[in-house]
Structure 1
Amino acid sequence: MDAYEKAMKPEDLTRLFVERANAGDAAGIAALYEEDAVMAYPPGTVTVGRDAIRRLWEKVLADAPHFEPEEPLPTLVSGDIALTSTPPRDGAGARAQVVRRRPDGSWLRLIDRPEFRPPAR
């Protein structure tokens, strides 16, 4: 994990995710998460732990999807915990992550909801 660039601001995590996803680097994506992180993906399920997150992204990236950077909303920080979010380009739903500062000052994702769409009315 130390070979990867670290997120020194919470907002760096989104940029690093896009760079690593577009490079097909599932291990690099997983390195953005804490060991016991929880991700609400695929929709309707929960993926728990860095290893499971890596395996999930290996499957997703096998189809070589392309990700575009999204402009982050203002980050909310309380001590060593922060909430980051981005609105999807299509304007439907939201993406949100709870991230935690590490002792070295870098940030990792702890809870990730990469896709949320409100129920149809």
Structure 2
Amino acid sequence: MPEYEKAMRPEDITRLFVERSNAGDAEGVAALYEENAVLAYPPGGVTVGREAIRALWEKVLANRPRFEPEEPLPTLVSGDIALTSTPPKDGAGARAQVVRRQPDGSWLRVLDQPEFVPPAR
């Protein structure tokens, strides 16, 4: 795997995700996840593990979608675990990620909920 910039703050992951996605770099996106991370995507399903996440992003990025940076909500940190989130520009729900500090001090995603749509009432 190439040497990628590491997320030294939980908030860095969102920026790196946007940069790598817009560059069409599925391997770079997958490098932001722990080996056994869980991604709540595709809608209604889950993708488990860095390799499966890389394969999924390869398909998604083949269509060359453009991602815009989103202003993060305040990060919640408890020891080596943090919760990051962003309100989507379309105002629907929120995106949330649980990230964990690695032995080298960098952060990787453990759980990723890219789109949360509240149930209809």
Task: Give the drift of 1:119.
Answer: 1.9
Which residue in 2 is equivalent to 1:101?
101
Matches within 5 A, 1:28-107: 28-107=28-107
Q: Distance in 2 between matches of 1:57 and 1:2?
A: 17
Superposition CA RMSD, Å: 0.8
- What amino acid is the match of 2:5? E
- Identity, in percent, stands at 83
Extract unaligned runs of 5+ from structure 2. none
Q: Could you tell me the TM-score, scaled by structure 1's length?
A: 0.98
C-alpha distance in 2, partners of 1:23/1:120?
36
User: Superposed, which structure 2 residues align to 1:7-46 within 5 Å?
Assistant: 7-46=7-46
Q: TM-score of the superposition, structure 2-length normalised?
A: 0.98
Please report how far the alpha carbon of residue 2 of structure 1 lies from its aligned counterpart in structure 2 after TM superposition.
Answer: 5.8
Deviation at 1:120, TM superposition (A): 2.4
Question: Secondary structure of 1:14's partner?
Answer: helix
Task: Give the match for residue 3 of structure 2.
Answer: 3
Letter in 2 for 1:21: S
